Amino acid sequence: MLASHLVEVNELSPPQLCHYIDQKYYTPLQQALSALEHQASMLQHSDIDPEKMSVAHLLFSRLKEEVEQVIRNDRLIIFSVIDKLGAGRAGAVSQVPVQMIRDKNKKIISIIERLRQVANNFILKPEWDADTRLFFEELFLIDQMISQSIYLKENVLLPRLHKLYGC
């Protein structure tokens, strides 16, 4: 895979874009979510209000579940249908669940917005201990990867599918 600064996503075909999203965002996201889940379990004595930390843990768990489900759905269903479209199978057009993609993305964005509120918009406070700061810094990076992958799907992939195949 080319370095991300060398990839012009607007020049990629839909199947290539699917592969790009998978390799550039989904694989690192899965790794980061697993690592952060372990780190989250270590944050027992945080300097943050225990209620807020409890909500942050709950929201993070929910986010992890939703993102993992989206990755599975995209890899098993969406991307394979788009590969079929790229191979010239016109019957696959009706199988792209565009509304499902948008609904799932909205759900994930909603969870991220709530997490941002709990996490002080990812602005680290000096009174937080090192583990808490590291947790929220990593959560910010995950937020960015998720947001970028959603942006690519919503603003590049889906419009291109609509333009090429009428999806």
pLDDT of 115-166, one tens digit each? 999 888 988 888 888 888 888 899 999 999 999 999 999 999 989 888 877 7
Query: What are the φ and ψ backbone dihedral angles of 129, each rounded to 5 degrees?
Result: -70, 165
- Looking at residue 89, its pLDDT comes to 64
Angle at 18 between CA 87 and CA 5, to 5 degrees: 125
**Nearest alpha-carbon partner for 59 in 13, 126, 107, 131:** 107
Could you tell me the residue ranges of all domains in the chain?
Answer: 13-162
Model pTM? Answer: 0.86
Provide Rg for the chain, Cα atoms.
Answer: 18
Res. 8: pLDDT tops 80: yes
pLDDT band at 2 (very low <50, low <70, confident <90, very high): very low
Per-residue model confidence (pLDDT) at position 1: 47
Looking at residue 22, what is its pLDDT?
Answer: 96
12: how many CB neighbours lie within 10 A of its CB?
Answer: 18
Give the amino acid at 67: V
Q: What is the mean pLDDT of the chain?
A: 86
